Structures are given as C-alpha cells and as structure tokens.
Structure 1
Amino acid sequence: MKNIIIETKSLIEFIKHDLLLGKELTTPLDADTDLINSNIIDSLSLIQLVTHLEREFEIKIDDSDINPDNFINVNSLSNFINSKIQTKK
C-alpha cells in the first residue's frame, strides 16, 4: 500500500507541474479526479504521461494498455503502474 500512496502523490505533482501548464481547474486535483472528462489528459499530454511513466518506473506500456480504465484518474494510474511493476519482477 505504501508504494501506491507514494506513486499517487508523485503522479499528482507531475500532472500539476508538467501536464496542466497553467490550466485552471474547477475542482482541486486529487487521486479521484477524472483526468479524461476534466480535460487534463488529451492526446498530446497522454503521450507525455506515458513517456514519463515508462522512464520513472522503468516499465513498458503497450498500446493495448492505453485505455480509459488505466488512465481515468490517479488511483487507476497508480494501480496500473503497480501491476506493471509486479509483472516485470
């Protein structure tokens, strides 16, 4: 569980710093914020996010992994990352 908490915080910070780029949100960004429907993630930021995740966590994200279930919010991203890390061990 500790890994999920750490990854959640680091993911939120990455999203705030690198993906939002001055965009104003109507609600605060937290682990349950819908990243897709709130327009935080678009096609370009998705590529940036995937690249970051692959580098930061040393995982390979396949095209089939890129679906709303894995990227809908930070909690789902964190769970996805943990499963990828566990799979590579």
Structure 2
Amino acid sequence: MDSSAGLSLKHQRVKRLLMLTTSYGQHLPKNNAITLTLSQESLAQMINSSRQTVNQLLGELESEGLLKRHYGKITIPEPDTLFSRYQFI
C-alpha cells in the first residue's frame, strides 16, 4: 500500500519534493541548504502534476519561508524545518 494514501494533495506533493532532495539535491555545506536544479515543468512531471499546480505549491511553501524559487532552481534553506513541518515521511 502506498504510504501517501490518505494524505492531502499538498502533502503528497511535498513528500515527493522531499524525496527528490535526496536524489537531485545539491547540499550546500555552508548552511545545510539544498538546491534542486530543475524547472517547474520537470518537477511537475516527476511528481505527476501540472506546472501550474507545482507553481502554486512552491508559492505556498515560499510564502511559509520553507523554500526560495529561482529560475530553474529551488533552494530549501533549512531542510530540517521543511522535514519537521511535514513529519509524515
């Protein structure tokens, strides 16, 4: 059974985003930040969603201070905060 069953769509997408940090993320040793170098379109395909939905999700997470968007990149300045906020993993 999928461990994502019963999670909201936002939580499912955040879970997949967090999983991608381990395979696509570049850890910045100075402050433990993680940067994903991929477009919103690529991320949308990887998490089985539309680019518009991914853009909305990233916007919500950015407004919560959990990530920063750059052209072709997503930076998670404090991965532990994001992981703890979404403890379902």
Band the TM-score falls in, shorter-chain normalisation: 0.3 to 0.5
Question: RCO higher in 1 or 2 (8 Å CA, sep ≥ 6)?
Answer: 1
Task: Give TM-score, length-normalised by structure 2.
Answer: 0.33
Task: Give TM-score, length-normalised by structure 1.
Answer: 0.33
Structure that is richer in strand per residue:
2
